[in-house]
Amino acid sequence: MIRGRLTHFMRRDELEAAWKWVEPIMDGWTALDEKPKPYTAGSWGPAASSALMARENMAWMEES
């Protein structure tokens, strides 16, 4: 049941903070005429993400 369960929803300040964080990313994709890399649900994500981390001598926590 959803009625009265505010844990299922974001507060206004949380929503505004989320958009403040993600909008520059979306604007960057638009400026570069790029789209997010697709990947299969449940996978480690696109190979490009691991390659990006490897170039910086880093690894995702789950992969280390």
Q: What pLDDT does residue 1 have?
A: 66
**Which ranges of 1-64 would DSSP assign to H, the alpha helix?**
12-31, 47-55
Q: Is the pTM of this model over 0.85?
A: no
User: CA 29 to CA 27: how far, in whole Å?
Assistant: 5
Q: What pLDDT does residue 56 have?
A: 92
Spans of the chain, pLDDT less than 70: 1, 62-64
- The model's pLDDT over 45-63, given as tens digits with 9 standing for 90+, comes to 888 888 888 999 987 776 5
Q: What pLDDT does residue 44 have?
A: 79
| Domains in the chain: boundaries | 10-35
